[in-house]
Amino acid sequence: MPIRTVLGLILSIFVTGAIIWACSFEIQPRKMGESVTAPGREYKFLTVLNLHLQAIYYIICIINFFFGTDTLESEKRSFLQRLRDLFFASAAFPIGMFVCIAFWGLYHVDREFVYPKELDALFPSVLNHIMHTLPGIALCLENLVHYHRYPSRLLGLSLVIIIFVAYITWVHYLHRIHWLTFRENVWVYPILNELSSTYRGLFFLGSALFGIGLYFIGEMYTLFLPNLQTDRTTE
């Protein structure tokens, strides 16, 4: 068995374990206040949703290790590998990288937009990095130990767009519920409260376009990895 394949299994188990620990971290409502008591609770944050998405992906990788294949030959790929590759291309990579880049980008502009300073006393530093750093690093490393064959661009991009539209719809739904319940104009992220309707719309549009761009970056990264000629086919 190739060492590359074994390393892929070890990476998948490590990331899955780290995410399970992060998701099981106990949040104290009396300290977090509205963050965990408002509509949507912690599931209004893309970071938390991404953790669940990444966990599902790496669990698929583990199952594929034992029962599937890891080959570039399209006709020899098992159903599990096809599912793994589709999930990687259309969800795990673009959403995972988006969360990491967007979080740390906004954090260095003004951390109050995404991670107020008072949260440092509630969450250990390692938890923050599991949520906002590990997904991106793991995805880059994962591509070195697994062979991926991207789906047709029509299918892959359609799924990326559906995911972003679904989350943007979810954010607007929670904003509406919060308004009807508390009569307060509060958005999931503080930065959205600072933007006018026009700029908020542009922010969402820019985020979706960035996610689409990450799909192409993932495709190119998979194609041109040193010493791994993948011979992908895109339609």
Range of the domain at 155: 3-223
The encoded tokens of residue 29 equal 């409502």
Query: Is the CB of residue 68 less than 8 Å from the CB of residue 79?
Result: yes
- Confidence (pLDDT) at 34: 52
Q: Is residue 82 part of a domain?
A: yes
Instruction: Estimate to the nearest angstrom the gap between the alpha carbon of 129 and the chain centroid.
Output: 14
pLDDT at position 113 is: 83
Residues of the chain with pLDDT under 50: 29-33, 36, 226-235
Within a domain: 229: no
Whether residue 233 is contained in a domain is answered as no
Tell me, yes or no, whether 50 lies in a domain: yes
User: Do residues 193 and 186 lie in contact, with contact meaning Cβ atoms separated by under 8 Å?
Assistant: yes
- 232: in domain: no
Question: Alpha-carbon distance 132 to 100, whole Å?
Answer: 5
pLDDT of residue 231: 44
The distance in angstroms from the start CA to the end CA of the chain is: 32
Residue 171 is assigned to a structural domain of this protein: yes
* 18-22, Cβ contacts within 8 angstroms, sequence gap of 24 or more: 18/130, 18/134, 19/51, 19/54, 19/55, 19/58, 19/130, 19/134, 20/55, 21/130, 22/51, 22/127, 22/130, 22/131
Tell me, yes or no, whether 228 lies in a domain.
no
Domain total for the chain?
A: 1
Tokens 């990579």 label which residue? Answer: 93
pTM: 0.89
Q: What pLDDT was estimated at residue 189?
A: 87
* 201 within 8 A of 120, measured Cβ to Cβ: no
Based on C-alpha coordinates, what's the Rg of the chain?
19
Half-sphere exposure of 63 (CA within 13 A, CB side): 13
The reply to whether 116 falls in a domain is yes
Confidence at residue 31, expressed as pLDDT on a 0 to 100 scale: 44
